[in-house]
Chains A and B, each alone.
Chain A
Amino acid sequence: MSQNLARLAQRIDFSQGSGSEEEEAAGAEGDAQDWAGAGSSADQDDEEGLVKFQPSLWPWDSVRNNLRSALTEMCVLYDVLSIVRDKKFMTLDPVSQDALPPKQNPQTLQLISKKKSLAGAAQILLKGAERLTKSVTENQENKLQRDFNSELLRLRQHWKLRKVGDKILGDLSYRSAGSLFPHHGTFEVIKNTDIDLDKKIPEDYCPLDVQIPSDLEGSAYIKVSIQKQAPDIGDLGTVNLFKRPLPKSKPGSPHWQTKLEAAQNVLLCKEIFAQLSREAVQIKSQIPHIVVKNQIISQPFPSLQLLISLCHSSNDKKSQKSATEKQSPEDHLYVLEHNLHLLIREFHKQTLSSIMMPHPASAPFGHKRMRLSGPQAFDKNEINSLQSSEGLLEKIIKQAKHIFLRSRTAATIDSLASRIEDPQIQAHWSNINDVYESSVKVLITSQGYEQICKSIQLQLNIGVEQIRVVHRDGRVITLSHQEQELQDFLLSQMSQHQVHAVQQLAKVMGWQVLSFSNHVGLGPIESIGNASAITVASPSGDYAISVRNGPESGSKIMVQFPRNQCKDLPKSDVLQDSKWNHLRGPFREVQWNKMEGRNFVYKMELLMSALSPCLL
């Protein structure tokens, strides 16, 4: 019976169909339970045998496995169904059959999907916009209350800053521009924390403050002045503290900018003065320069003093009170001060220029010819000629000398022009000058006769210590700086002009020049220059005019009359014939001051025309 049952059970296929499965499962369940107890002991013994003899030894094994899996599945199904019945955690949802036709379906879906995505994007944008508006309103609120960092950024645009530890230091020296001055020139940037948040923030509040080195505080300038009279020795050492009003800073520039610029200017003035005083001590000159406290005194010309002083006034209230002295504006040579600044900047540039940068890069620094002096074995003379010899002080003194000489020359010419009316002196100064040289053209003319009498034209080249005069006739005369020399020279030229004018006038009037001399050796000796003389004869030969003109003695005019017009001539037996009475005889002086006429040449013209009878 058992064998038959086994055979039948083997034929059962538990995987076919649900209906048959359920039936067989129900039936097999019961059988399995009965046989479970009986078969379990046989299981352990026959496990190995089962592996080898699976189909024959224990035929219920596959049945049991199948049944077991069926049981598991049934249990799961039961659990699911029980949960679904509760409808708490799982529901059964029918698939709706009445769906829309396939054509309209994607469009609506697209629309819905687009709408959703747009809404999402709009949401992001709105959030961003909200954030931006918030920050803008914040900025507007904080505009007055400037941020330390933004101020620091502004500072960085103008000045070099670096961070050392936890301090921010800046550099206001000219070292990066080529200066060799040993001052450190560092300033410190500090945060301005003394602000009372409760009170209203002041207009010029700045969260940033700069602390400049104490010796650069206040303002400074270099004063160059020329004084005629030498001050007493006791006056040396007076410290000039004329406070010049601070140069107006650009409106809108923050207060640290003005502060730093003022400090930089003080540093530059100090450098200029240090350089000048160093040279004043080192350079040997005939009259030594005196360096006292903040003044350098030198004598470019005798009885003339050049004062260069460094005027540094700090911003204390004390010094403001004391600096009430009025400074005379003529005293201050602004041009030279400006030139000092330019010269020191030029010196800075020289240390950085490409002339100094060597090609090839391995050669030492210095001027190109100096680099070549080694390989080309220059001796000492050649090396000395290469090195630039003039320092800042020498240059400034030369410039001051030139300025002084030029102004004195102008004053001399002007005083002469205003003092003497006949002949007239004109000065045409040239516009283009050099720091060491200027030129002026001086013309001596007579009023009304400029075209005729233009033989005296002088070109004056005013140098550093001398004036070189080039005459129209080619003579070159060198005058020293003494103003008396120039004055004497011009006076002598004026007297020569009168005689030259007579010569030219004679040509026009038809009179003949009998003799002419620029420097007569007869008559009284002049102290300035020489007298000149001319004798001219009338066209008919009847009369002759003789003129002698000297710078000091003035002009003397004599007219020679024919013999028959002179009444007081002694009769003599020498003259046999009466025709000899037509010759010219004695001279008679003309009272020149009683002559009519505006100036000498006019008077001379009148005289000449009076003496040449017109033939009607």
Chain B
Amino acid sequence: MGVTCVSQMPVAEGKSVQQTVELLTRKLEMLGAEKQGTFCVDCETYHTAASTLGSQGQAGKLMYVLHNSEYPLSCFALFENGPWLIADTNFDVLMVKLKGFFQSAKASKIETRGTRYQYCDFLVKVGTVTMGPSARGISVEVEYGPCVVASDCWSLLLEFLQSFLGSHTPGAPSVFGNRHDAVYGPADTMIQYMELFNKIRKQQQVPVAGIR
């Protein structure tokens, strides 16, 4: 598990999501990356049920359950700005049992699927973010395997991102935030994905026009 940066690639002007993805992958292949299969990251949302809210009328917390094909036997559960949990795949079954406390919002299931490229120590994943049948955006994930401390390799990552993303290079992810010297873990990647999905969910209107 190395330091990972997850960012969104905005759809090119006048092109569809698929075409932009193709552009990116061609750039990567020209760089010399080799295709190594596919990947999938999906996210389901749950809100705490009304019955547990009490009389204070506070808004229910949202819980996100994510799966990543990179960690096939694990399940990630996150609260926004809150605690997170890594569990094995029985967690999904547990969520079904906890129907009374956590209600799933089926409509907001979001996932990203795409190809996985290996370029020496870098692992690049370019995926199409879809919500239901419609493609909403493009996610780009770059992982630098050898390093686990964010502050040590952020500049290297940035340089690599610039080489194929060009002007769309993101800034430092918020998970790096204050804990620059802490060891990076898979949960941080999932937090980044969660933030990406939330951002994409909010920008609902714009990409729809782009598809046509």
Give chain A's interface residues, CB within 8 Å of chain B. Answer: 364, 370-371, 373-380, 383
Residues of A within 8 A of B121 (CB): none
Q: How many A-B residue pairs have CB under 8 A?
A: 39
SS class of chain A's interface: helix, strand, loop or mixed?
loop
If A374-B86, A374-B88 are given as contacts, then 18 extra A-B residue pairs at C-beta distance below 8 Å, sorted by A number, are A364-B90, A371-B88, A373-B74, A374-B74, A374-B75, A374-B87, A374-B89, A374-B90, A375-B74, A375-B87, A376-B74, A377-B1, A377-B86, A377-B187, A378-B74, A379-B1, A379-B70, A380-B72
Q: A383-B72, A383-B73 are in contact. Are A377 and B186 (CB under 8 A)?
A: yes
Q: Tell yes or no: B71 within 8 A of A by CB.
A: yes
Q: Are B71 and A379 in contact (CB under 8 A)?
A: yes
Q: Are B88 and A375 in contact (CB under 8 A)?
A: yes
Residues of A within 8 A of B72 (CB): 380, 383
Residues of B within 8 A of A383 (CB): 72-73
Report which residue of B1, B74, B90 has the largest number of chain A beta carbons within 10 angstroms of its beta carbon: B74
Q: Are B73 and A373 in contact (CB under 8 A)?
A: yes
Nearest-CB distance from B188 to chain A (Å)? 11
Residues of B within 8 A of A364 (CB): 88, 90
Interface bits B100-142 vs A (CB < 8 Å: 1, else 0): 0000000000000000000000000000000000000000000
Chain A residue at minimum C-beta to C-beta distance from B89: A374
Q: A376 CA to B76 CA in the complex, in Å?
A: 10
Q: Which 7 A-B pairs have the closest CB atoms?
A: A374-B88, A377-B186, A377-B71, A374-B73, A377-B74, A374-B74, A373-B73
Residues of B within 8 A of A370 (CB): 73
Residues of A within 8 A of B185 (CB): 377
Q: A377 CA to B85 CA in the complex, in Å?
A: 11
Q: A364-B90, A375-B87 are in contact. Are A380 and B74 (CB under 8 A)?
A: no
Nearest-CB distance from A375 to chain B (Å)? 5
Chain A residue at minimum C-beta to C-beta distance from B186: A377
CB interface residues, B 60-78, toward A, < 8 Å = 70-76
Nearest-CB distance from A325 to chain B (Å)? 54
Chain B residue at minimum C-beta to C-beta distance from A376: B86
Q: A583 CA to B88 CA in the complex, in Å?
A: 90
Q: A370 CA to B74 CA in the complex, in Å?
A: 11
11 A-B pairs (CB sep. < 8 Å): A364-B90, A370-B73, A373-B74, A374-B74, A374-B86, A374-B87, A376-B86, A377-B1, A377-B186, A378-B74, A383-B72
Chain A residue at minimum C-beta to C-beta distance from B69: A380
Q: Are A378 and B88 in contact (CB under 8 A)?
A: no
Residues of A within 8 A of B1 (CB): 377, 379
Report which residue of B71, B86, B186 has the largest number of chain A beta carbons within 10 angstroms of its beta carbon: B71
Q: A514 CA to B186 CA in the complex, in Å?
A: 70
Q: A383 CA to B71 CA in the complex, in Å?
A: 9
Residues of B within 8 A of A377 (CB): 1, 71, 74, 76, 86, 185-187
Nearest-CB distance from A99 to chain B (Å)? 95
Interface bits B159-190 vs A (CB < 8 Å: 1, else 0): 00000000000000000000000000111000
Chain A residue at minimum C-beta to C-beta distance from B76: A377
Residues of A within 8 A of B187 (CB): 377
Nearest-CB distance from B83 to chain A (Å)? 14
Nearest-CB distance from B167 to chain A (Å)? 32
Residues of A within 8 A of B87 (CB): 374-375
Chain B residue at minimum C-beta to C-beta distance from A371: B88
CB interface residues, B 82-99, toward A, < 8 Å = 86-90
Nearest-CB distance from A377 to chain B (Å)? 4
Residues of B within 8 A of A376 (CB): 74, 86
Q: A371 CA to B75 CA in the complex, in Å?
A: 13
Q: A376 CA to B90 CA in the complex, in Å?
A: 14
Report which residue of A378, A379, A383 has the largest number of chain B beta carbons within 10 angstroms of its beta carbon: A379
Residues of A within 8 A of B76 (CB): 377
